[in-house]
Amino acid sequence: MMRLLTAATAALLLAAAAPADSPVNLPEPEGFHTGVQQGYTPPTLTGAMVLDIDGLDALMAQAEPVLIDVALADRRPAGMAADKPWLPAHRTIPNAVWMPNAGAAPLDPAHEALFLERVAELTGGDKAKPIVTFCHPDCWGSWNAGKRLVQQGYSRVHWFPTGIEGWQDRHETAVVKEDAAWSQRSAGLAQR
């Protein structure tokens, strides 16, 4: 127990310095990770496959996985001059469905229901359809989102921890708008 605590403390202390493949062997939390989303993540997600970019390329070559991006949206910084152009554009894996902050935990029941409803639509109700969750490196959001889907009985959940940065190192990104259903529900919620 003590060793666990020490590891967790070390992970917290090092959180800001973590590359995607964390040198800290962080254990999986029992449920969701409810702390800050940025920080070291575990190397595993029970019930899901963890993919590196080679794994994702291989998966995309043989299947059409549902790509779920839960990265937070950029919000206009407080204190920025009103006449400055603010034109955020979210670059991600082409054809990804972007539901910002859907990996939050806890997630309010309305958003959780909407997230699951959207995934059910995107998979056509097929619980064996491959799904990939991702955001940025060292982001718990995609881990939580993957876990949420494992809990719902999806059998081919994949977690891609290096996320958008891991993808853009090898491939082109595309500007993707927030999922329409998700943005309707989320309008007005502060992000990032």
Q: Would you tell me which residues interact with other proteins (CB under 8 A)?
A: 15-20, 36, 38, 57, 60, 74, 76-81, 84-89, 91, 93-95, 136-138, 164-165, 168-175, 192
Least Å distance between CB 74 and other proteins?
4
Least Å distance between CB 64 and other proteins?
9
Bridge partner residues of 159 (DSSP)? 50, 133
**Cβ count near 180 (within 10 Å):** 10
Residue among 57 and 121 whose Cβ is closer to other proteins: 57
| Whether the Cβ atoms of residue 181 and residue 114 lie closer than 8 Å to each other | yes
Residue among 67 and 114 whose Cβ is closer to other proteins: 67
- Cα radius of gyration (the chain): 17
What SS3 class is residue 147? helix
Residue among 75 and 151 whose Cβ is closer to other proteins: 75
Least Å distance between CB 171 and other proteins?
5
Least Å distance between CB 175 and other proteins?
6
Least Å distance between CB 67 and other proteins?
10
Q: In what order do the strands lie in the sheet with 157-159?
A: 49-50, 157-159, 131-134, 66-69, 97-98
Residue among 42 and 114 whose Cβ is closer to other proteins: 42
Selection from 179, 184, 33 nearest residue 100 by Cα: 179
Residue among 18 and 157 whose Cβ is closer to other proteins: 18
Give backbone dihedrals phi and psi of 127, rounded to 5 degrees, phi first.
Answer: -70, -10
